[in-house]
Each structure stands twice: as C-alpha cells, then as structure tokens.
Structure 1
Amino acid sequence: MTDPTLLETLVKGALELEPTDRGLLPHRLPGWARAQSDDPQLHLVEAQPAGVRLALRTTATRLELDVLPTKRRYVGAPARPDGWYDVLVDGALVDRLQAPGGNVLDVDMMTGASTFTAGDPTTLVIALPAGAKHVEVWLPHDEQTALVDLRADAHVTAVDDDRPRWVHHGSSISHGSIATHPTEPWPVVAARLARLDLVNLGLGGSALLDPFVARTIRDTPADLISLKLGVNLVNQDLIRRRALGPAVHGWLDTIRDGHPDTPVRVVSPVHCAIHESVPGPTAPDAEAFAEGRVAFVAGGDPAQVARGALTLEVVREVLAEVVERRDDPHLAYVDGLALYGPADEERLPLPDNLHPDSAAHRLIGERFAALGDW
C-alpha cells in the first residue's frame, strides 16, 4: 500500500484533494468556492477530473491503481461507455484502461432528477516497460474518480514539473465533451504540444462568470491564463448584453488582483450553428432522444437579440470590445472562429449540435498551441 501522503503528491491538475472514507476525491474548485453555489451541475462537473493525472518517476514494471468511479446514466439515452485512463510513459501513450463497476448516478435530462447507487472500487493493472521512466496516468475527464490506493513493484517518487503553468477556464468544450479519452480534450492537446503544465478549469455547463471562479483563478499560481467565455451564458439565457461587458471587466479586475502581469487570453466561442444568431436557452432535442440519440436545439427567439439577448455573434463582439478597451499589454483576444469556424463545422460537424468530437478537439488544440507566445 502506498503512503497516502505520497499518493497526494503524485496528483497534478487538481486544486484540492478531499479525503473521504472511500479514497481521495480530486476537485477542480476549492471547498470555499464550492460552498458558494448550490448548483448540482457545478458540483457534478468540478469533481470530474478533467486534466487531472498522476505523475511519477519509477523503475516499476507493474502498477496497481485502485479507483472508485462514478458512472452517469441518462434516462432514455444510449448507455455511456466507461471512462478511460490514459497511460503515458515519457510522454508517449502506451495504454488505455477502463474501470468497470463503481457508483452509478442516474439522471433524467428532461426533469433534472437524479438517483445515486453506491458501488465498489476497481483495480487497474498497469504494465510498464523496464527502466527509469516518467509515468502519467490521466484520469477520465468526465467521470468522477476517487483514488483509493496505488501499489508498485519498485520505488515511486513524485515529479517536479518545471514547465510553465497554464490555468484555463471554459465550458463543457474545454472540459472535454464529447471527446472519448482524457488526453483528447483540446486544452490537453494544446498543453502537450506547447509543453505546458495544465490546470483545466473547464466546467461543463458552468462557465457562467461566477465570482468565486474568478477568485479561484486569482489565487491559483499561473504563468499563463486563458478564459474561454460565452457559450454557457447563451445556453442558459443567463444574462443580457448590458450585463456581459461589466461582468467580464469585473472578472478581469479580480484575476489581475492576483496576477497583475500574467499573460491572459480571452477566447470567444467556437462556431456552433444553432446559437450563432439564435439565443438560448439550449434544450434537449426531444425527437433525437426518442430515437435514442443525444442532441440539442436552440430554444430562444431571434427577435429578442434587439432587446439584449445573447447569441454567439453578440458574445464575440462584446468580448472583443472589452479586451480593446482595457489598457493591458498582457491581455489578448482570441477569436474562437479561428479555432473552429463554419468551414470546420461542415467538415467536422458537432455530433450533438453543441460539442466537438475528438477529431475537432485535436484541431482546436493544435490551432491554440500554434498561436505561440502569449
């Protein structure tokens, strides 16, 4: 059995590890921030370990990792596959594993109701090549995972990461929906290409300009920061144009309190045809669900745009204006259409009308990494 203190030092990309009676639960928001919201969606997604991995040095040829996943099942939708654990050795992918069993959360997307059924941990057996090596085990990006124990047939030590630390915040696209594997979400692709130490604060359905998220970013050590904002505000029809600009200014003011000179990129939404000119809220496509498919539709009225309703086109305009107005040489605007635009959606369509697949994630990550110096 690994010393629990050592296991904690191996975890990268989480902002807090919660000790539970069933293992260490990684969180991507600290406890004080979680306490400021009672939104079940936020609490679900921040505990899904997108970008969280174990990183270690060892000569071991066998690791045994005990995990307790929490699987989601959506009423009326096709069964979701188990989450994947990607194993990298010296930066190269060598294996992908799944953990059957565990807890189960049944969710009715039409009503929001859910039920929880407790399950048992699973042991992942990880075979490694001989010799000294740097090993990373990336946890499932969209499946809550408690770390119960780690055993090895040789000594294990933590890794000091001297790469620039990149803190990124965004929506479910940044979180990784609907990428298949945990190394496929676009921030992970970009971080690996640019050799950055990623902290992924992509929060599915929850990039809503909550003040406690801005304060979390303010308080988190970072060499680089990016903020991909807007699509969830449209999805939930949460605010109007009048409030968006001041709210983004306030977010940037808060972040600058802790990072006065850190390079920051404000990234606008990528192309999404259903919401380019039609406001939210976003709704499940009932016809698709009846056919056993997951898809979404825009439920807003385009006539409301004149009264301040947000669309992706409006969001891009406002974000560009905010960045231009601030006297900040370390702040830059990135147009999301340069990462994934209309032509890209024709070639790599969004399978559910809202989220990129793994191939589109790779494209976005490659383009973001290619932006170069901040």
Structure 2
Amino acid sequence: MLAFEMSRDDIRAAVRGTAFVDETEAGLSPIRLPHSIRQRGGDESIERMAAQTAGVRLEVLTTASVVAIEAVLTRSFPAAVPDDARPAVLVAVVDGRETDRKAFLNGPILRQLDAGRTERIDGAVAIAELSLGEPATRPRVIEIWLPQVSATEIHRVSADAPLHPSPTRARPRWTHYGSSISHSAEADGPTRTWPALAALALDWDLTNLGFGGQAMIDPFVARVIRDRPSELITLKIGTNPINADALRMRTFVPAVHGFLDTIRDGQPDTPVVVISPVALPMHETTPGPTVVGPDGHLTGTPDAGDRPGVLTLSYVRPTLERIVGERADPAMHYLDGRRLLGPDDTHHLHDRLHPDAEGYVLMGDRFVQIARHAVWAPRNPGE
C-alpha cells in the first residue's frame, strides 16, 4: 500500500474537466452536468452519459513515481457488445506525455437490457496503479485521466510521495459539446478521444460535454456552457436529432438559435465554432431514426413519405452554415465536420456511425492542424 493518501477535499480540488462532483458515502463522483438539471432529459439516458467521465482528470502536484486509484466503475454496453469491447482505462500524463496506462483490474458493469432498464452486475472496487517515471526532485504536475466509458466513483488516491491539488494553470479553457463521436467511447482510452488528443497537443484546458446519443441541442446544456468561463466554445451538432428522428426542419432551426442565444447571454464575446456532422453515408440523404439493418449494422430509415420535414445531413450542414452567417456575429464561426472526417475516411466508421480508434486519432490530428491557423483559436500565454 502506498503511504501517502489525498484527503477527500483535496481530491475534489484536483478534479478538472468538470465543475460538478457528487459526494457519496464512500467517495466522490465527478459528473459532467449538475444534479439540478441532468434529470431534465425525459429519461435516464442523458444522466447516464453525463456520469461517464470523458475528459475528466485529476491534476496533482507531486514528486511521486507511482500513483494508485481505487474506484467503483459503472460501465454500460448495448446488449450486443461484449464486455471487453470498451475497457475502462486510466492514463497518467506528465508534462503532456503519457507515462502509463492501465485498465482497471475489475469493477461493476451496468448492462443495458432494453429501453429504460439496466442491471448492475458487480460492485467491486477497481484498482489501478500507474507509473510516473523516476521520482522527481521537484514537484511536477501529473494528470490522471479517468475512463471515458464509465462513471467513476473515486474512493482513494495514493502515491509513494505527498500529492496535492495542482494550482490552476494559465492556459486556454476549451468547452466542447457533441454527440457520441465527441464522447469517443471507441477510442483507445481517455487521452485518445479526438477532443483529448487535440487538447493535449494544443495545451488547452478541456471540458468535454460529448454525450453518447444525447447531443439533442438541449436548453439545459446550453445553460451549463453559458456559465462555464471559456476562451473557446465548440458545438458539434446535428447528428443525434437525425439518429433519433427527434426534430424536424421547422424545429431544428429555432432550437439551434435558442441554444446559441443562451450561450451568448453569458459569454457575448467568446469565440464559438459550430461544427457540422462528419461524413456519414447512411444519413447524407436518408433520414432517421437510426436502426439496425438486416446485415447487423446501423442504417437510416428510407421510408419518409409520411414524415414531412425529416432531417438529413444534406439539410443539416447548409442550415448550420446559414444560421451562423445570418447571425452576423464576428466571434461565431462555422466548421464543416467533413474536414475532420470526410467521404474518403468512411472506412473508419466501424458500424457506419462511429469512428474506430484510428478514426478518432485522425480527427484529433486534423482539428489541431485547423486550430493552429484559425482566427478563432485561443493562444497560450507567450505564443
């Protein structure tokens, strides 16, 4: 057992990537939406996605060479996905570089049985011990990235030297909102989601509000973004309303305007980038809802004759570009999502909807290249 342990207050103070932490009898649960609003989605889906710790990490100051995390994990899988398809991985980052990554040794699984029903399989405490390299002569900032595919109730953080919450670093704060592609469950660990890859490369302070299946342009999420001080806000929207057949042409436009209006109420001058969907052949001209086709892969629903005003990507992309243009806001910009993953990259869509691990790396790299030359991108101190 490692001799030095963080107090609960220190763990709370070390949490980055979210402003919200729930206290439980046994520990602390970072969560990406506040308790007061995360039940407003109409069912438990948004609450379950908000509990998964995508982009959330602990930042500590220490000379340690080893740090250990004990936590209860709650992972969720569609019934057809094997339990080991999305391992819950913990990653240590020192000076912007990964030093170790470990899958938690065990932990509970919350298996999705059908709409609205889940089953808890196991409640064991999971343990992961991470190497930080040689002991340092001076305290250094260590980032411990929590799994993007599980809710994480932290019970204990310990090391072989004292560790304390790191002071807030002077770097640009980036808030990103999006769907499962931003949540990036298929990525090879929490630092290889496309937003995390970009944030680490650009040295930006990421808050990832990517919620699998839940980027429904919800007003309560806009309020969270409004109240989260940022130097950059990016909104990757448009796919989930098609997947769920949740909006029509008549309702999509005012929903986007209302979302942007709410953000502007609190952050009138922050650069906002509206990112349209990546290339998804199954929905370019075919509306949702997204269903499992005869071949076992996801597909659209072709028969839209009795559903006037249904959305497809051929409508959503130019509509988002037009909305941004009509608002005539000099700090608001449009980015075509096909610049991140385009028609020539769709072999990375392993199920026709979600990129594989290599696809997320490609997206992260491309976003970095765009941001390095973009007028909307914040600069680090000294650049």
Measured against the shorter chain, the TM-score band is over 0.9
Q: Which residue of 2 aligns with 1:291?
A: none
Q: 1:153-203: CA deviations, max 9, x gaps?
A: 212122222110000000000011321211111111111122210000001
Contact 1:237 1:279 in 2 (8 A): yes
Within-5 A mapping of 1:182-261: 182-261=190-269
Q: Where do 5+ consecutive residues of structure 2 fail to align?
A: 377-383
Q: Which residue of 1 aligns with 2:349?
A: 350
Aligned CA distance change for structure 1 residues 65 and 38 (closer, same or farther; 3 Å) = same
Q: Distance in 1 between matches of 2:43 and 2:294?
A: 24
Q: 1:56-109: CA deviations, max 9, x gaps?
A: 121112222111111334434333343111111111111111113222212135
Aligned CA distance change for structure 1 residues 75 and 46 (closer, same or farther; 3 Å) = same
Q: Which of 56, 66, 70 lines up with 1:66 in the alignment?
A: 70
Q: Which of 121, 131, 134 lines up with 1:127 in the alignment?
A: 131
Q: Which residue of 1 aligns with 2:95?
A: 90
Q: Aligned pair count?
A: 364
SS at match of 1:97: strand
Aligned amino acid, residue 143 of structure 2: E
Contact 1:277 1:302 in 2 (8 A): no
SS at match of 1:71: strand
Q: Distance in 2 between matches of 1:178 and 1:285?
A: 21
Q: Give the deviation of 1:115 after TM superposition.
A: 1.3
Q: Which residue of 2 aligns with 1:54?
A: 58
Alignment pair present for 1:136 and 2:143: yes
Q: Give the deviation of 1:287 after TM superposition.
A: 4.2
Alignment pair present for 1:369 and 2:332: no
Aligned CA distance change for structure 1 residues 195 and 76 (closer, same or farther; 3 Å) = closer
Q: Distance in 1 between matches of 2:213 and 2:74?
A: 19
SS at match of 2:141: strand
Contact 1:175 1:200 in 2 (8 A): yes
| Stretches of 4+ aligned residues off by more than 4 angstroms | 302-305
Contact 1:99 1:122 in 2 (8 A): yes
Q: Where do 5+ consecutive residues of structure 1 fail to align?
A: 289-294
Aligned CA distance change for structure 1 residues 276 and 367 (closer, same or farther; 3 Å) = same
TM-score relative to the length of structure 1: 0.93
TM-score relative to the length of structure 2: 0.91
Aligned amino acid, residue 314 of structure 1: Y
